[in-house]
Chain A
Amino acid sequence: MDINEIRKQFPVLDQQVYGKPLVYLDNAATTQKPLCVIERERDYYLHENCNIHRGVHYLSQMATEAYENARKTVARFINAPESHEIVFTRGTTESLNLLATSLGMLFFDGYRASIPSGCDDHGLSASPSGDASSVGRNDSIKILITAMEHHSNLVPWQQMVQRHGGELLVVPMDDNGVLDIQAYEELLKQRPQIVTMAHVSNTLATVNPIKEMIRLAHQYGALAVVDGAQSMAHLPIDVQDLDCDFFVFSGHKMYAPMGIGGLYGKTEWLEKMPPYQFGGEMVDTVSFEKTTFNKLPFKFEAGTPNVGAALGLETAINFIESFDRQEVAKHEDALLAAAIEGLSKIDGIRFIGQAPERSGLVSFIIDGIHPYDLGTIIDKMGVAVRTGHHCAEPVMTRFGIPGTVRASFAMYNTMEEVEVLVKAVTRASNMLR
């Protein structure tokens, strides 16, 4: 694995900011895009652009085929059994909103009537009366999330329980940022209908034991949703091995263009779920009186999709797979370990998130120094990190801090860049004290 060769694929990295070489360590927010991805999207608009699925003409058929092939590539990448189980969305946030809205309707708005009989009701009978007809009664709605969720995997569910009445249950974590699995199991006994969790925390870097958590969720009759926004670029994903009911991700955090992402869902659930956006493409037949909906996955893809970005996502997946993924993971882990070792020599540094298993990023604060100040100074040294609450305010509240400084890595980062980070943070903290 030749990092210099890889970096040539990412022209944006080769620039100076404030007269210093750019050190881009904000990859958890978005990764840079390799030339092949940029070219693929450009190529689509140069030679293939067309609205898909309905056209009888040549270009439309080609574009449709390319788009559906991209779906197959995503399915293969995460080992989904069927490509119709992949719904293209704008990204993780949209996928989670789709889930919270649609599952909210399915479970709590009387859409239940449309569920084919004989389906396992996944905890729905766990309402206090034990009577399935009481589903929809406000006191029976419980969604279990974890204490380390990004706002995107918190607010949609919170709004859902507020809309339907109900309760958000939260799995606590310890001071290292490790979820309390015993408490998790206790909370499952309250029979939540849905459990949703980050695969990797965007603030703490914790890799959660999702396989075990999914198994437990199922044991207590709950559906399991995994937020893979921070894991897709770094860890191999096998949705069949995990046995999650839903898995969501963003393309732009895995070298693909912005504006594309996905939702994997088990067929049996996607079939039952009502669509949440309506319009063209997602319908079967329409009259003024009645509309029937298209089959999977199209019933969840209202309107013209972002075809060019979907093709870019496919290319990004091919790009990731062109490397030995274990070797890439080893390199990224080495960067993370070096950053932690270098930074730990700084007086007063406190790492936020010290789980035994971490991936992709390091979050820290330094005694008496506001993260914003630190980020502002090291920005002037060319180092791009993120400061603030990282859209996870409850995590900050949990640790009693206003925010953290977060450095996050991608395959193209180098040991030299880690050294620049450590030097910059050291110098800035001396200035700010």
Chain B
Amino acid sequence: MTIKEIQQGIIDDFSMFDDWMDRYAMLIEMGKECPIIDEQYRNDQYLINGCQSRVWLHAELKDGKVYYTADSDAVITKGIINLLIKVFSGQTPEDILSADLSFLDEIGLKEHLSPTRSNGLLSMLKQMLLYAEAFAASTK
């Protein structure tokens, strides 16, 4: 599936719920299903420190595609990480770098990626893109 198709799937999933409580319940479930970072990478080198919650992120390139794993001590943060992982994992670095992220707006979660949230998510997104950039450069 392309990034756009995956994003549309997420938008469809979220649009089933009118109530924000249900959306957050779904996000919490997604947090619990996040592809967890291997214990060996769960250290300071892979840590993205938000003021409120911490995020660990790792990425590897397999057959020209990027695969992310992560963890966070806060489950809502982890749910949003999993959303991004669902969108980005298994895609080529080039597709990741050119992806449009407006789907976060459509599902009403953009506030979590605001620079004022201090939950580490915005830095994590930047880190995801940095990984993609590094992989793109290494495969050229």
Binding site for B on A (CB under 8 A): 18, 370-373, 376-377, 380, 387-389, 402-403, 431-432
**B74-A431 in contact (CB<8A):** no
What are the 4 closest A-B residue pairs judged by CB atoms, nearest first?
A370-B74, A372-B74, A372-B52, A372-B53
* CB interface residues, B 23-74, toward A, < 8 Å: 24-25, 28, 51-54, 73-74
In angstroms, Cα B39 to Cα A14, docked, is 49
Chain A residue numbers with a CB within 8 Å of B28 are 373, 431-432
In angstroms, Cα B24 to Cα A370, docked, is 15
Please give 19 more A-B residue pairs, beta carbons under 8 A apart, in addition to A372-B119, A380-B21: A18-B20, A370-B53, A370-B74, A370-B75, A371-B52, A373-B75, A373-B76, A373-B77, A376-B24, A376-B76, A380-B20, A380-B24, A387-B52, A402-B73, A403-B52, A431-B21, A431-B25, A431-B28, A432-B75
Q: Contact check: which of A371, A372, A388, A431 meets B24 at CB < 8 Å?
A: A431
**A373-B21 in contact (CB<8A):** no
In angstroms, Cα B52 to Cα A372, docked, is 6
In angstroms, Cα B65 to Cα A289, docked, is 70
**B20-A370 in contact (CB<8A):** no
CB distance from B98 to the nearest CB of A (A): 31
In angstroms, Cα B77 to Cα A18, docked, is 20
Chain B: CB-nearest residue to A371? B52
Binding site for A on B (CB under 8 A): 20-21, 24-25, 28, 51-54, 73-77, 119
Interface centre among A376, A403, A432 (most CB of B within 10 A): A376
Chain A residue numbers with a CB within 8 Å of B25 are 431
Chain B residue numbers with a CB within 8 Å of A403 are 52
Chain B residue numbers with a CB within 8 Å of A18 are 20
**CB-defined A-B contacts under 8 Å, sample of 20:** A370-B75, A370-B77, A372-B74, A372-B119, A373-B74, A373-B77, A376-B24, A380-B21, A380-B24, A387-B52, A388-B51, A388-B52, A389-B51, A402-B53, A402-B54, A402-B73, A403-B52, A431-B21, A431-B24, A431-B25
**B73-A370 in contact (CB<8A):** yes
Chain A residue numbers with a CB within 8 Å of B53 are 370, 372, 402
Chain A residue numbers with a CB within 8 Å of B76 are 372-373, 376-377
In angstroms, Cα B38 to Cα A64, docked, is 65
Chain A residue numbers with a CB within 8 Å of B52 are 371-372, 387-388, 403
CB distance from B34 to the nearest CB of A (A): 14
In angstroms, Cα B75 to Cα A431, docked, is 11
Chain B residue numbers with a CB within 8 Å of A431 are 21, 24-25, 28
Chain A: CB-nearest residue to B54? A402
CB distance from B129 to the nearest CB of A (A): 23
Chain A residue numbers with a CB within 8 Å of B24 are 376-377, 380, 431
Chain A residue numbers with a CB within 8 Å of B75 are 370, 373, 432
In angstroms, Cα B87 to Cα A151, docked, is 40
In angstroms, Cα B24 to Cα A169, docked, is 45
CB distance from B119 to the nearest CB of A (A): 6
In angstroms, Cα B13 to Cα A412, docked, is 42
Chain A residue numbers with a CB within 8 Å of B77 are 370, 372-373
In angstroms, Cα B120 to Cα A372, docked, is 12
In angstroms, Cα B79 to Cα A373, docked, is 11
In angstroms, Cα B74 to Cα A376, docked, is 10
Chain A: CB-nearest residue to B76? A373
Chain A: CB-nearest residue to B120? A372
Interface centre among A370, A372, A388, A403 (most CB of B within 10 A): A372
CB distance from B108 to the nearest CB of A (A): 11
CB distance from A394 to the nearest CB of B (A): 16
Chain B residue numbers with a CB within 8 Å of A371 are 52
In angstroms, Cα B24 to Cα A18, docked, is 14
Interface centre among B21, B24, B74, B76 (most CB of A within 10 A): B74
In angstroms, Cα B119 to Cα A133, docked, is 51
Interface centre among A373, A389, A431, A432 (most CB of B within 10 A): A373
Chain B residue numbers with a CB within 8 Å of A432 are 28, 75
CB distance from B113 to the nearest CB of A (A): 13
Chain B residue numbers with a CB within 8 Å of A388 are 51-52
Chain A: CB-nearest residue to B77? A372
Chain A residue numbers with a CB within 8 Å of B119 are 372
In angstroms, Cα B52 to Cα A387, docked, is 8
In angstroms, Cα B128 to Cα A47, docked, is 55
In angstroms, Cα B53 to Cα A388, docked, is 8
Chain B residue numbers with a CB within 8 Å of A380 are 20-21, 24
In angstroms, Cα B54 to Cα A283, docked, is 49
Chain B: CB-nearest residue to A389? B51
